[in-house]
Amino acid sequence: MEKETKYKDGMDMRQFKCLHDISFYNNNYYVGFDKDLLFGKSDDDDTTEWFIVTPYGSTLLGYSLTSNKDLLEKTDIRRT
């Protein structure tokens, strides 16, 4: 099972612990399931894009909206 499948549509992204030591303005890292490294890139409005980070790149999980309680909205998987 790929890592992305653990992160379901509608999942509350606020459940993950922020790594403040390596995070900075609108660019935050989190500990996900099984110690996955998650990256949340936010804008100054309402949207955060979520990625899983690996040594080989990152995979877009989806996005969340502050106005929608930061629930994950899945998108097509895209590796960067």
The predicted-structure confidence for 8-67, as pLDDT tens digits, reads as follows 999 999 999 999 999 999 999 999 999 999 999 999 999 999 999 999 999 999 999 999
Residue 30 lies in a domain: yes
Q: What is the pLDDT of residue 4?
A: 78
- Chain Cα centroid distance, residue 80: 14
Question: Within a 10 A sphere around the Cβ of 14, how many other Cβ atoms?
Answer: 11
pTM attached to this predicted model: 0.88
Expressed as residue numbers, the domain containing 45 is: 3-74
Q: Is 34 helix (H, G, I), strand (E, B) or coil?
A: helix
Q: What letter represents residue 68's amino acid? A: N
Number of domains in the chain: 1
Residue 8 lies in a domain: yes
Specify the higher pLDDT residue, 45 or 76. 45
Q: What letter would DSSP give residue 7?
A: S
The distance in angstroms from the start CA to the end CA of the chain is 20
- Chain Cα centroid distance, residue 22: 15
Residue 80 lies in a domain: no
